[in-house]
Amino acid sequence: MFDTKFAIVIRNDLETWQKLNVAAFLAGGLVGARPKLLGEAYRDAAGHVYTALPVQPVIVLAADDRLIRTIHRRALERAVTTSVYVEEMFATGHDTANRAAFAAFGPDDAKVVGIALHAQKKLVEKITRGAKLHA
């Protein structure tokens, strides 16, 4: 049905609250960068209006530390736009501090705990190869 895929990969050793937090941040970041991912606003039978949601399913995958590093590298090598969350961001409390924590590391030493990407379906599947559906 879709020729593209919206995937989020979360490191599998995180606490539940961390996994949910990372998924929310990453989805928001990717949708912010790709507004075409959003559909129209929702309206219920009583006429209340709700915000738009992504137009396609968001696949949430799990990976260990080694695999998530590989996925990050694959995405960079293919120049795929991503949202990335690093472990040090858990210790911050606001956006400016998050960006400072993120900027302290490069791709080779970043402790990536989550990555989101949207691209052609086959490309996303190649990049995320080895990750399993999050349970």
Residue 16 CB coordination number (10 Å): 7
Question: What DSSP character marks residue 68?
Answer: H
Is residue 135's pLDDT more than 90? no
Is residue 100's pLDDT more than 90? yes
The tokens for 48 are 């209340």
Mean pLDDT, residues 98-119: 96
Measured CA distances, 124 to 2, 26, 89 (Å): 12, 16, 25
pLDDT band (50, 70, 90) for residue 58: very high
Query: Which domains does the chain carry?
Result: 4-133 (3.40.1490.10)
Question: What DSSP character marks residue 67?
Answer: H
| Residues 128 and 71: beta-carbon distance below 8 Å | yes
Please state, in angstroms and rounded to a whole number, the distance separating the CA atoms of residues 122 and 71: 14
For the entire predicted model, the pTM comes to 0.94
| Residues 29 and 83: beta-carbon distance below 8 Å | yes
Per DSSP bridges, beta strands 49-50 and 42-43 are antiparallel
